[in-house]
Amino acid sequence: MSNKLSEGEISSALQDLPGWQLLQGRVEKTFMFDSYAEGVAFAVKVALLAEKTDHHPDSLEIMWGKVRVAYVTHSAGGVTRKDLEAAAQVDALA
């Protein structure tokens, strides 16, 4: 199991993850798209990545033209290095 990171560690790491922010104890980002279908296609890519890496988003919210992705590791009681690695991997999909 990964260890929970401090807010300082998370804030420092988020400097390398543009658009990601710490909100309500988890890291999240909203991705924008030109259509609903593009957003759904991106969400499917995120879901497939989650299955491949065995690390799933806490939330994967599809809206018209945007998708919000959030990570937290409940078993660690907060955000871990694995959550930040997942965030970087999701950025690479966009």
**For the residues of 12-34, what is the DSSP string, one character each?**
HHHTTSTT-EEETTEEEEEEE-S
> C-alpha distances in angstroms, 64 versus 58, 69, 90?
20, 14, 19
- Each residue's pLDDT tens digit, 11-63: 999 999 999 999 999 999 999 999 999 999 999 999 999 999 999 999 999 99
- Each residue's pLDDT tens digit, 50-94: 999 999 999 999 999 999 999 999 999 999 999 999 999 999 999
pTM: 0.94
DSSP state, 75?
Answer: G
